[in-house]
């Protein structure tokens, strides 16, 4: 897709024009590096499945190198993982990573003292999980630190390299792995639309999710900028899912000569898993944490999987990992170049 001709109602692509009667634009978001070119070059994120595979290759390769590294300082840097961003993604990744290192990789690399490995979570503000109540935030911080995650609050990352991460106060963390979860912005397609974008490159939409001046064009998901009850709807999957359902119903109503009431997001709650038997959840005015919240998190994730077979397979895998701390896939499927990204 190269653009949209709203006047002629044509989608412009590299293979020709595609006419439309109604158009739904939901291109999502991309990682926001806030102009930090070095971070964009040397960090990892998890926008696609291929990103997860690349990150896994990098981490396992780091441990392979650490086994034969004679310099203790460089060896520890190879086993140091810096995560930037204290939102749900950063918190969940930090908890999962420290458990992977201590319970799984410790068995694969007995030559290494994996308890010397570092998982560092860097957050620019003074709190984790800012959207959650204070009790949940305090529990999350204490739980991560009890799991040996180094949590740095009020710390802003300003530069990165292949072997180090630099903070705003001049502190340098020797590390070979940087994971970025500090923000997202609307997909570049948003800038090509006939609209003035808001914060994060998002496109303001009408209460019925249509593009101003184009009642036949719907903008949904992370690209859409819509205020509700005095605050902007977040760039999260539940918002996008409800917007998608609304847009589909609006088009059916439009074809039937009916109109729908304005879109309204129904917040079903927020939750994040921290690690084994630990999670936080806030829903319907109630706050849960610890083992019960962890069970709720597991059940809801199983519920939203597509297909009964997928639910059973995932549940059995989770049970196996819970009892044996055993991850099934620990394969290096690409070799890594000396200066950064994986290559075939």
Radius of gyration of the chain from Cα atoms? Answer: 22
Annotated catalytic residue, options 92, 99, 123, 336: 92
99 is catalytic: no
Cα–Cα distance for residue pair 207/226, rounded to 1 Å: 7
Which helix (H) or strand (E) covers residue 241, if one does? helix 237-255
Cα–Cα distance for residue pair 29/221, rounded to 1 Å: 9
Instruction: Give CA 73 to chain center in angstroms.
Output: 31
List the end-to-end C-alpha distance of the chain, in Å, as a whole number. 28
Contact between 282 and 271 (Cβ < 8 Å): yes
Instruction: Provide the 8-state DSSP code for 76.
Output: H
- DSSP character string of 253-265: HHHTT--PPPP--
SS3 label, residue 106: helix
How many residues are listed for the chain in this entry? 344
Cα–Cα distance for residue pair 97/103, rounded to 1 Å: 10
SS3 label, residue 58: helix
* Residue matched to tokens 């979860």: 181
* Residue matched to tokens 């590390």: 175
Contact between 79 and 66 (Cβ < 8 Å): yes
Residue/partner pairs of 166-170 with CB below 8 Å, 24 or more apart: 167/122
SS3 label, residue 252: helix
Which amino acids are annotated catalytic? 92
């Amino acid at each position: 897709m190269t653009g949209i001709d709203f006047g002629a109602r044509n989608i412009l692509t590299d293979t020709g024009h595609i006419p439309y009667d109604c158009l739904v634009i939901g291109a999502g978001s991309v990682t926001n590096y806030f102009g930090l070119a070095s971070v964009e070059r040397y960090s990892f994120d998890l926008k696609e499945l291929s990103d997860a595979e690349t990150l896994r290759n990098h981490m396992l390769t780091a441990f392979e190198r650490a086994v034969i590294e004679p310099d203790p300082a460089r060896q520890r840097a190879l086993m140091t993982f810096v995560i930037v961003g204290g939102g749900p993604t950063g918190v969940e990744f930090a908890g999962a990573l420290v458990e992977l290192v201590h319970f799984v990789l410790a068995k694969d690399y007995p030559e290494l003292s994996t308890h010397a490995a570092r998982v560092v979570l860097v957050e620019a503000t003074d709190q984790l999980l800012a959207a959650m109540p204070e009790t949940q935030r305090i529990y999350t911080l204490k739980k991560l630190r009890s799991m040996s995650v180094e949590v740095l609050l009020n710390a802003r990352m300003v530069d990165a390299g292949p072997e180090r991460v630099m903070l705003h106060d001049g502190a340098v963390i020797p590390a070979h792995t940087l994971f970025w979860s500090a923000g997202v912005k609307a997909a570049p397609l948003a800038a090509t639309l006939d609209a003035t974008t808001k914060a994060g490159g998002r496109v303001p939409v009408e209460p019925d999710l249509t593009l101003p001046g184009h009642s036949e064009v719907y903008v949904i998901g992370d690209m859409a900028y819509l205020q509700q009850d005095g605050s902007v709807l977040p760039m999260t999957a539940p918002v996008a899912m409800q917007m998608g359902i609304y847009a589909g119903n609006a088009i059916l109503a439009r074809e039937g000569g009916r109109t729908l009431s304005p879109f309204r997001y129904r917040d079903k709650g927020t939750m994040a898993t921290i690690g084994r038997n630990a999670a936080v959840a806030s829903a319907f005015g109630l706050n849960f944490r610890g083992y019960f919240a962890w069970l709720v998190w597991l059940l809801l994730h199983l519920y939203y999987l597509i297909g009964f077979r997928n639910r059973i397979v995932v549940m059995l895998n989770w049970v196996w990992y819970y009892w044996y701390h055993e991850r099934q896939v620990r394969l290096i499927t690409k070799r890594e170049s000396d200066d950064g990204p994986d290559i075939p």
